[in-house]
Amino acid sequence: MKALLVHPHGSNWMGSGKDITTIFNLMPPLGLLSIAAYLKAQGSDVEVLDCYGAPAGVEEHAADIIARTPDVVGFSCTTSSFLEGYAIAERVKQENPDIRIVFGGSHACSAGAALLDSFPAVDFLVIGEGEVTFSELLRSGFRNVDSVPGVAFRRNGKGKLSAARENIPDLDSLPFPAYDLLSDFPRRYNLPLFSYPTAPNTSIISSRGCPYQCSYCDRSVFNRGFRFNSPDYIVEHLLFLHRDFGIRHVFFYDDLFTFDRNRVERFCVLMEEKKVPVTYNCIARLEHVDGELLSLLKRSGCWQVNFGIESGDPQILSKHRKMYDLDEVGRKLRMVKESGMRVKGLFMMGFPGETEQSVRRTIDYALSLPLDEVNVTKFTPFPGAPVYRTIRDFGEFDEHWPSMNCMNFVFVPHGMTRERLEELYSQFIRRFYRRTRIHWGYAQMLWKSPHSIGVFLRNLPEIIRFEMKQKW
């Protein structure tokens, strides 16, 4: 049975003209590639279509899928990409009703079996981790699917879940993602501009799940349990990427890369012992950071550490994530800088309860920190997040799925307007980046990240046009 796995693009652009987001940042669909690798290891014939890497319209993608003559097409969709994925699936089904259509990913997992009631072109949903479930679904020949845990199907025209699928206990049992199934990997793919020293580069996820309960996080795929790859597995993964694809730098996109201290320490030791020729970035939680850890990270090749700070207003933080001492943040970030690594702060605007005063506190706070870079997202209440259930009690929510990509203010807190949020967002970006210290930092990228400079200069006309449209 031939399977084709599809990663729809969806709506991930807030400007007009050329989508420059794929210039700044285009990462491989790691979840889909992990499923593909597992299917290959089980003997299945599998291909991957990444619509980010090969952008086209619905008709073009549908025609490409049909031309590949798959028996089953699996779509992995976020909330913002679901409707585009469904439009492609619907067109495929019209042309060849015998092709089985399966949807998985965060939107399917958060919506659950009821999604089948409104989207008839979808035959099945994979709820939870996809590797084992999708493989067993293929082996079943789509018969007696109610005996395959983690599958949603129709019974008497209504969506029904077979049974809950238990999480994979040992992530080391999974093969490395099937990067080789991507067209033009790694050349077509790139980490966020100015966030790496060398190319080619790519991203890695070495853990699943999270034990914390931030109000805005969707944990519908991996749940709250925390599992991770062993240090030996991670190092072998890096060596594989370097040997087979020439990768020289990676970004660990784990939310909790530093959660297990023993794992991080052993990983750092192995990186030094094996002289792994790959540097990396990671995301760390502030409470994990101390001098000893930072020394280990630096010696093992860490180039940049990202921190989820989210807000500079204590009341907002106390309502939406684990509270930390804002006065301690600056000290911890200075420790990272003194260790010789770059520091990036991750912020979010438009929380329930947000006011203009709280936003301004966050902007002023961000400017006071020793950050090299920031990423500011727009609060989005995803269906799988705890805050989703009561979100309309706190403001106006325009639940337009294609716009739910953290780049649009689909939620507006009571007392605010969408227009004012956009103005404050622009102020945040403008005030942070239009400072001499930040300009000097990017000037240093001439020798710290020459590949980023080259990409930036090649696309400078489009970048200037975009900035002028923002009226900064």
Token reading at 381:
């209440």
Q: pLDDT tens across 315-367, in order? A: 998 888 766 678 889 999 999 999 999 999 999 999 999 999 999 999 999 99
Q: Which whole number is the average pLDDT over 197-211?
A: 92
Write the CATH number of the domain with boundaries 191-469: 3.80.30.20
Pairing of strands 249-252, 201-204: parallel
**Confidence at residue 468, expressed as pLDDT on a 0 to 100 scale:** 64
Residue ranges covered by each domain of the chain: 2-161, 191-469
Q: Is the pLDDT of residue 219 over 90?
A: no
**Confidence at residue 336, expressed as pLDDT on a 0 to 100 scale:** 95
Q: Amino acid identity, residue 76? A: S
Token reading at 202:
């790519």
Confidence of residue 467 (pLDDT cuts 50, 70, 90): low
- Long-range CB contacts (within 8 A, 24+) of 163-170: 164/127, 164/128, 165/127, 165/128, 165/129, 165/132, 165/133, 167/128, 167/129, 167/208, 167/209, 167/222, 167/223, 167/225, 167/227, 168/129, 168/131, 168/132, 168/227, 169/227
Max CA pair span of the chain: 65
Q: Is the pLDDT of residue 454 over 70?
A: yes
Proportion of the chain above pLDDT 90, given as a percent: 80
Q: What is d(CA 253, CA 25) in angstroms, rounded to the nearest whole number?
A: 13
Give strand pairing partners of 125. Answer: 103, 152
Go through 351-382 and write b for each residue having 16 or more CB atoms within 10 A of its CB, e for each that does not. bbbbbeebbebbbebbeebbbbbbebbbbbbb
Q: What is d(CA 302, CA 299) in angstroms, rounded to the nearest whole number?
A: 7
Q: Provide CB contacts within 8 A for 378, sequence distance 6+.
A: 348, 349, 350, 406, 407, 408, 409, 410, 421, 425
Backbone angles phi, psi at 327, to 5 degrees: -65, -25
Count CB atoms within 10 A of the CB of residue 156: 5
Q: What is d(CA 139, CA 198) in angstroms, rounded to the nearest whole number?
A: 42
Q: Which whole number is the average pLDDT over 158-168?
A: 94
Q: What is d(CA 3, CA 99) in angstroms, rounded to the nearest whole number?
A: 10
Q: pLDDT tens across 79-109, in order? A: 999 999 999 999 999 999 999 999 999 999 9
Q: pLDDT tens across 431-448, in order? A: 999 999 999 999 998 899
- pTM value is 0.94
What is the distance between the terminal CA atoms of the chain, rounded to a whole angstrom? Answer: 53
Kindly give the interhelix angle for 291-299 and 326-338, rounded to the nearest 10 degrees. Answer: 40
Let me know: does 89 contact 111? Beta carbons within 8 Å. Answer: no
Go through 253-270 and write b for each residue having 16 or more CB atoms within 10 A of its CB, e for each that does not. bbbbbbbbeebbebbbeb
Backbone angles phi, psi at 368, to 5 degrees: -85, -15
Q: pLDDT tens across 145-158, in order? A: 999 999 999 999 99
Q: Amino acid identity, residue 367? A: L
DSSP 8-state secondary structure symbol assigned to residue 26:
B
Pairing of strands 151-155, 2-7: unpaired
Q: Is the pLDDT of residue 466 over 80?
A: no
Q: Which of 346, 404, 408, 407 is nearest to 78 (CA)?
A: 404
Helices (H), 172-322: 231-245, 261-273, 291-299, 314-320
Tell the burial category of 419 from Cβ atoms under 10 Å away from its Cβ (0-12, 13-18, 19+): exposed
Q: What is d(CA 432, CA 423) in angstroms, rounded to the nearest whole number?
A: 14
Q: What is d(CA 355, CA 423) in angstroms, rounded to the nearest whole number?
A: 13
CATH 3.40.50.720 fits 2-161, yes or no: no
**Confidence at residue 472, expressed as pLDDT on a 0 to 100 scale:** 44
**Confidence at residue 91, expressed as pLDDT on a 0 to 100 scale:** 98
Handedness of CA 408, 411, 413, 418 (dihedral sign): positive
Q: What is d(CA 347, CA 374) in angstroms, rounded to the nearest whole number?
A: 7
Cα–Cα distances (Å) from 405 to 149, 283, 322, in that order, read 30, 20, 23
Q: pLDDT tens across 225-252, in order? A: 789 999 999 999 999 999 999 999 999 9
